[in-house]
Chain A
């Protein structure tokens, strides 16, 4: 997943650089145009090649600015599309996790602990956050592993990793290529069926 984060940052940098360029070029363009207008006022002579050239250059500058602005807008909208895709993926991952928990009939407290385990917290930290004894958390964790049919933390987490890597969850919403090169035309994945694993 780390790989798919970097382009987002690069794009953000690109958007900022583009915005800076637009600003500088637009200010230059406006000054140039102001100069041209002033020249028109003082030394207006039809067909003066110098003035005509200046006029054309000013127009070209302005067109360049507008073009850059449109370019920036489409870059921004691509970025927001990508964000939507990520949100969809996140939402789906949450759904998948919920479905697993329902299947295992975890209690409310066990769900909280399970989510913290998935987020990489160790038992001591979980106990501190939940204001309980470390022994309680250990017992809850053991029950979670038992209900999910796994043999410990690593295997428990890998259940979800597997889900994350197997499916194409970037479908729906995002127009971007899937980050991991998953086939675009793969058939839509069936809803998660954790009972296969228990």
Chain B
């Protein structure tokens, strides 16, 4: 068990592409940490640099207070699960799980026992003689996890651990993975491009864009108070409404409507400045009749989300989305009013959160 610390970590690929730009990050011991971002943001590069599979161009990587920047991957005492699991196809499950121990020259009997023990813990007892090709995706994933557990490494690194599973299995695996990490208590960093996955599993997460970390925080912080418009747009299964607006004294003028200044931004705004007003569709109260401080318009689209509906309103030139509970959904063409929750609405100036 160990903390992971990155100091000014920079990675420039030959050809000048800056994949990581002076990153600073501390992941405390035992934390389940998510690296989230769109493809090409550098999250996988970051994970591979922690593993030692990519050499850092600048800065340093510390694992358990030991500087491992120049250490080979095998000497860093980390274990990694690859996106395609990388189970050796010519070895059976036992040999796959025991492979890290074979490298450490553990006697054959001991490592078979250890493999059986770890395998049993993940429910693989009856599969120990199979080859990876004879296993389902979920079983392969558990074998990959078992192999990582057998290393007893100080930290685990998972590269898109759920992306090779089908949608239903992914939800199960999410719960399973979180429970397993909690039980083992090993510092774990995982990479994902799926914001729902990061929100669901991580203790804390970093949202990355183009080699920079745009926000670090708990899933709740990142969801409720995105630090900038990039994070605001990236997080959430329904995208946040980000509307251009102007400060008019005690109120904001947004899309031709007057809305109240969010509670957290009170007193931090100058009269007349242009801002971006952000509020999640989930934090809107929808009504068919006019309301004070609401954004009013015509219903353009109604999308079924299951237990609720996503209603898209044409408010002047812009579109505003609100989540409406089951049973209250309007018909297309109706007049609709969406009232933002004052304690959940946010104001951004030049892309950064004001409050």
The answer to whether A and B come from one shared complex is no
By a beta-carbon cutoff of 8 Å, the part of chain A in contact with chain B is none
B contacts, CB < 8 Å to A: none
